[in-house]
Amino acid sequence: MKVQALAFWGRAVAVWLLIAALETLHGIVRGLWLEPALGAVAAQRLGFVLGSVLVLAVAWATSRWLDAATRAAQLQAGALWLLLMLGFELAIGRARGFGWARIAAEFDPGQGGFMLFGLLLMLLAPMLGAWLRGRQRG
């Protein structure tokens, strides 16, 4: 693998680590302040919106540094972010003692879960961040 490609993947992982850290803090804040104030359902809905804004803000702020100038590179970074976030969410759910049925419910919009939409956003975030910055080429 070329040094340029390794550098790209390293930057993509670094940006995902930033997103994961911010989302973790966001989840803590949601649990400590939003849920008691708004209730679980409203906090989950508001949390999804705020989390989406966080992801897009990071994608926008890091789009130049990520240097994913083509749609293909943006989708590759997004696919990596999706896979890493999926693994992270599954690991966190299991570490918290949740069974597979409870974890699956987080992915089921019919049960109020927003995780599928969040993962779709992770896939598209590098492209959306670059678009917002005006950096998209072919």
Give the torsion through C-alpha atoms of 78, 81, 87, 89, to 10 deg: -110
The span from the CA of 4 to the CA of 2, in Å, is 5
Cβ(85)–Cβ(20) under 8 Å?
yes
Helix axis angle for 115-133 and 71-95, nearest 10°, is: 150
Give the model confidence (pLDDT) of 31-88 as tens digits.
999 999 999 999 999 999 999 999 999 999 999 999 998 999 999 999 999 999 999 9
| Reported pTM | 0.91
Structure letter (DSSP) for residue 34: I
Averaged pLDDT, 88-107: 94
Averaged pLDDT, 107-129: 95
- What are the φ and ψ backbone dihedral angles of 49, each rounded to 5 degrees? -65, -50
Give the model confidence (pLDDT) of 119-128 as tens digits.
999 999 999 9
CA 33, 46, 37 angle in degrees (round to 5)?
Answer: 30
Percent of the chain with pLDDT over 70: 96
